Amino acid sequence: MTTRSPGPRGGDRSTTSTNGKAASKRGAAQRSGTAAKPAVNGPVTGADVARAAGVSRATVSYAMNDTADARIPEETRRRVREIARELGYEPRSDARSLRRGHTDLVVLPTYTIPFGGLLTAFVNDLSRELHRLGHTLVTYGDPDADPMAAARAWAALRPAAIVVLPERLTEESAAYLAARDIAIVGLAWSKAPMDGVHFVLEGETGRSGYVAAEHLIAQGRRDIAVVIPREGRDDVIGLATLGRERLKGVREAVAAAPHPVRVRIVEMAESPASAAEVVAGWAPDDRPDAVFGYNDEYAALLMGALSDAGIRIPDDIAMTGTDDLPLCEMVRPRLTSVGFTPAITLGVVAQRIADAVRSPVPEKPRRVIMWRAELRPRDSA
C-alpha cells in the first residue's frame, strides 16, 4: 500500500508500508552500514542522515559533534558518521559555534613577509594535522591593521585559537582575545612573556645569525657585514623584522668571540641593482672580510655582484646565507648556509594547539622549539 507523507523539506514523498520493497531496502542498507542518498533537492540535512541511519536527529547531532556526555554506543556513533560521509552531510559550523561559543577555526594572521619553502611547508603540514583533529587553519586579516583593530577582526570569526607573531599583539589586544576564550599561540616570539599566551613556537630565527657568525669567527674573520632587507616602511612586519632578529644572533656570537670583530649593518633590496650598489660602496681598503646575507637569495645576489667586481669568494670575502635552499648547490662557489632541522613533528604542534583550546592559560607560556638551526658548510665559507 502506498501513502503520502511529508518529506524533510515539507513536500510530499511517497513511502511504502513496512512490508514494501522500499522499507526492505532501507532496512538492508542500515544493517549493512550503507545508505542510499535521499531523493531530496538541496543540501543533505541531519534529518536525512537520521532517516537513513534509523536514529533520531538528536543522536545524529551527538555523533557528529562528539558530545562528551551523550550516552550513545560507539558503534552507533561510527555508523552515523559513515552514513553522513556517504551522503555528503556536513554539520553547519555556525550552529556548532553557537553551542560552543567558538568555531573550529585556527587563525594565522597574514603578514607582509613572503612565504618561503620552510613557512609554506609549515602552513600546509599544520593545516593537514589540525584537520585531523577537527580544526581548520585559515590565513586572514589586514597585515597593516593596528593590534586592537586586528584583534577585533580575528575575534569576529569566533576562532578556537590564533597563531600570531608578537609584533601583532599588545597587552590590551591579548587580553581582549583571552577574554573571549581564544587560545593564543605565539610564533617566533621576541618580546617578554605576555599574559594570555598559552605557548610559544620558536624556529631559532635569532640563533641562525649566531651559528653563521660563530662559523665565520672561527675562520678568523674580523669584519662581518650583516644584510638587513630594505623595505619601504618600518611600521610593518616584514623581512626586516626577521633580519633584525638574526642580527641579534650575530651580535651575541661576536660578544663571545676570542678576538675583536666589527659588525656593520647593510640594508639591501632583493635585486641585482641593489647588490651592485652595496658592493660599489665598499672601498678596496675598507671592505668586510665576511658577509651574512640574511637568507640564501640575498647572499646569492651579493655573490654575483662581488664576482662582477672581481672580488674573490671566499679568499677576499666569505659568504653565508640562511635556509639552505637548493640554490646553495646551484651557485659557484657553493654557498654555505644555515639550515633548519625539525625538532618536533607538526602533528605534535597541532595537538598542542588543540589541547590549548581546552586548557586554562598558564602563568608563563612555554617555549616550544620547532626547528633547530645548524650550519651547512660549503665552498663560500
Residue 42: pLDDT band with limits 50, 70, 90: low
Q: What is the rounded average pLDDT of the residues 161-170?
A: 88
Where does the pLDDT of residue 375 fall: very low under 50, low under 70, confident under 90, or very high at 90 and above? very high
Percent of the chain predicted with pLDDT > 90: 53
Q: How far apart are CA 130 and CA 146, in angstroms?
A: 28
* pLDDT on residue 19: 42
CB atoms within 10 A of CB 142: 11
Q: Is the per-residue pLDDT at 327 higher than 50?
A: yes
Residue 289 has pLDDT above 90, yes or no: yes
Pairing of strands 197-202, 136-140: unpaired
CA distance 144 to 238: 11
Which residue in the block uniquely carries the three cell numbers 511529508?
6
Q: What confidence score (pLDDT) does residue 142 get?
A: 74
Confidence (pLDDT) at 233:
54
CB 264 within 8 A of CB 317: no
**Would you state the pLDDT for residue 203?**
84
Helix (H) or strand (E) holding 318, with range, is strand 318-322
- H or E element at residue 202: strand 197-202
Select from 357, 354, 344, 360 the least CA-distant residue to 133. Answer: 354
Q: What is the pLDDT of residue 112?
A: 58
- Which among 320, 346, 283, 294 is positioned nearest to 135, based on CA atoms? 346
Looking up cell 640563533 gives 207
Q: Quick one: which H or E segment has residue 77?
A: helix 74-87
- Name the least confident of 104-108, 167-171, 244-248: 167-171
Q: HSE-up of 335 (CA within 13 Å, CB side)? A: 30
Split at pLDDT 50, 70, 90, the class of 32 is: very low
pLDDT per position as a tens digit, 291-325: 999 899 999 999 999 999 999 999 999 999 999 99
- Give the pLDDT of residue 92: 58
Query: For residues 316 and 294, what is the distance between their CA atoms, to the nearest angstrom?
Result: 19
For residue 36, pLDDT beyond 60: no
Confidence of residue 74 (pLDDT cuts 50, 70, 90): confident
Q: What is the mean pLDDT of the segment spanning 273-294?
A: 96
State mean pLDDT over 44-60: 88
Mean pLDDT score, 128-153: 88
Q: Which three cell numbers stand for residue 360?
A: 586554562
CA distance 98 to 178: 18
SS3 228: strand
**3 state SS of 83:** helix
Cell of 179: 577574554
pLDDT at 316: 97
pLDDT confidence bin for 45, thresholds 50/70/90: confident
β-pair type (290-292, 223-229):
parallel
- What are the backbone angles phi and psi of residue 138, rounded to the nearest 5°? -130, 140
- Do 159 and 108 touch, CB atoms closer than 8 A? no
Q: Which three cell numbers stand for residue 379?
A: 665552498
Note the pLDDT tens digit of each residue in 204-251: 888 999 999 999 999 999 999 999 998 765 544 567 778 888 999 999
How far out from the chain centre does Cα 346 lie?
10
For the ranges 2-16, 146-160, 310-324, the maximum mean pLDDT occurs at 310-324
Rounded Cα distance between 149 and 172, Å, is 11
- Look at residue 43 in the predicted model and tell me its pLDDT: 76
The mean pLDDT of the chain is 83
Instruction: Give pLDDT, residue 83.
Output: 92
Neighbours of 285 (CB within 10 A): 5
Angle at 122 between CA 118 and CA 127, to 5 degrees: 155
- Residues 6 or more apart whose CB falls under 8 angstroms from that of 113 comprise 119, 237, 238, 239, 241, 242
At residue 234, the 3 state secondary structure works out as: coil
Name the band, by pLDDT with cuts 50, 70 and 90, for residue 72: confident
pLDDT at 47: 86
Helix (H) or strand (E) holding 270: none
- pLDDT of amino acid 21: 43
Q: What is the CA radius of gyration of the chain?
A: 29
Mean pLDDT confidence for 251-265: 97
Query: How sure is the predictor about 11, in pLDDT bands with cuts at 50, 70 and 90?
Result: very low
Greater confidence (15 vs 92) lies with: 92
